[in-house]
């Protein structure tokens, strides 16, 4: 997942994507704890994707805040 793809999405879509990634991370953690995790690299990829989504969300929210504060 690339940041440019995420920037094209709306905030509700990003929140949905974040929720899906958090669920996947949760499942991967359980698989790792029970010894069923086959692709250990997926944990790292999902963690970084979550960080990307959160970063883009924060950028969008701060952009809106700055636009609201800016005098006309």
Whole-model pTM: value is 0.88
**Mean of all residue pLDDT scores within the chain:** 93
Helix (H/G/I), strand (E/B), else coil: 9 = coil
The answer to whether 1 and 54 are in contact (CB under 8 A) is: no
B/e letters for 11-34, b = 16+ CB within 10 Å, e = fewer, are eeebeebbeebeebbeebeebeee
Of all residues in the chain, the percent with pLDDT exceeding 70 is 99
Average pLDDT over residues 29-58: 96
Q: What distance in Å separates the CA atoms of residue 53 and residue 14, rounded to the nearest whole number?
A: 7
The phi and psi torsions of 2 (rounded to 5 degrees) equal -105, 150
In order of their start, the domains of the chain are: 3-69 (1.10.287.310)
């Amino acid at each position: 997942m690339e940041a440019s793809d995420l920037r094209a999405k709306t905030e509700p879509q990003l929140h949905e994507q974040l929720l899906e990634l958090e669920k996947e991370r949760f499942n991967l953690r359980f698989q790792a704890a029970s010894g069923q995790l086959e692709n250990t690299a997926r944990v790292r990829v999902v963690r970084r994707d979550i960080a990307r989504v959160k970063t883009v969300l924060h950028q969008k929210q701060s952009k809106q805040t700055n636009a609201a504060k800016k005098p006309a």
